Amino acid sequence: MKHTFSLILLSAATLVAQEARQTAPVLNYKVVEDFFKVPDNHLYAEAVGVAIKSNGHIFTLNRGKYPIEEFNPDGSYVRSFMDGAEFVHAPHTIRFDKDDNLWYVDAGNNLVVKFDKNLRIKEVVGSRPEPWVFLTHGIERALAPPDHFYQPTDTAIGPDGSLFVTDGYGNSRVAKFNPAGNLVKYWGDRGTANGQFNTPHSIVIDNNANLYVADRQNNRVQVFDTDGKFKAVYRLPGPAWSLCITPGANQVMFVGSAGALYKLSLDGKILAEVHKPGLTNGYLSSIHSLACPDEKTLYIAQEWVYRFDKLEIQ
């Protein structure tokens, strides 16, 4: 009931915003029915992440017993991964970089974990809370910010291998780490001015090394260079939950929201949009994550309704 009421409020706010502006063309889509062939005994919890490997395999992330699942390009099931891992607490996002390394973000454990293409752990950034430390004097020597996170949300990898982390719910910043995993710098704090954030929830990078940050509660996307210099802001009629950028020479960006989906040019123009709030199949709920292998295909993770969908853009 809480999620349904929240979706109604967000949808109403979106409709009011629409009345005050010129809307873009409608983004028509078709849901591919029963695309993901999930084993019968694999029940999802919140659907929070989706990412595509270079071979076309699709990985999904949820907060249930089988956190990461892999599917063939046709939706047939391959395997699950990270079942029962101790560092899994509140899964938030997954991303693949150009070398097929998988980056996993756990907001509850304040961790970013890098797996290589064979799904072996290669790097851990941040550190998970350790309650036993508070029973000893170890807390005096505990690792502290700014190198560590407070509920991080997403990652992007720069052309030189730098790691960018949106951090996140507790903090309101973007942190940059060099390829060796060392903190280089960070920028942002809580607020509404340019360069400030209120829940930086998603981050992507384009072919020209521009960073796009979904500033969720400020209903906007902010653009920076890889040194954190502010470049632009793109305002939306609703919260910016999730981002993806298409590959190739002529890139576009999709923005997932609550009950809505936007297609933007990289200069911020809304090319198309759809507002179709609802909790049942075919409707849009909370688009926590999306992946766009091209302009005509979207994979979306709808958090509140525990569902992953493949959309064909018409």
What pLDDT score does 18 carry?
45
Tell me the residue range of the domain where 307 lies. 2-313
Give mean pLDDT, residues 284-300.
98
Q: Do residues 262 and 254 make contact, with C-beta atoms less than 8 angstroms apart?
A: yes
**pLDDT per position as a tens digit, 8-35:** 445 554 444 444 456 899 999 999 999 9
What pLDDT score does 298 carry?
98
* Number of domains comprising the chain: 1
What pLDDT score does 16 carry?
45
**pLDDT per position as a tens digit, 93-150:** 999 999 999 999 999 999 999 999 999 999 999 988 776 655 555 555 555 667 789 9
Give mean pLDDT, residues 266-295.
97
Give mean pLDDT, residues 244-248.
97
The domain that contains 238 carries what CATH number?
2.120.10.30
**pLDDT per position as a tens digit, 35-56:** 999 999 999 999 999 999 999 9
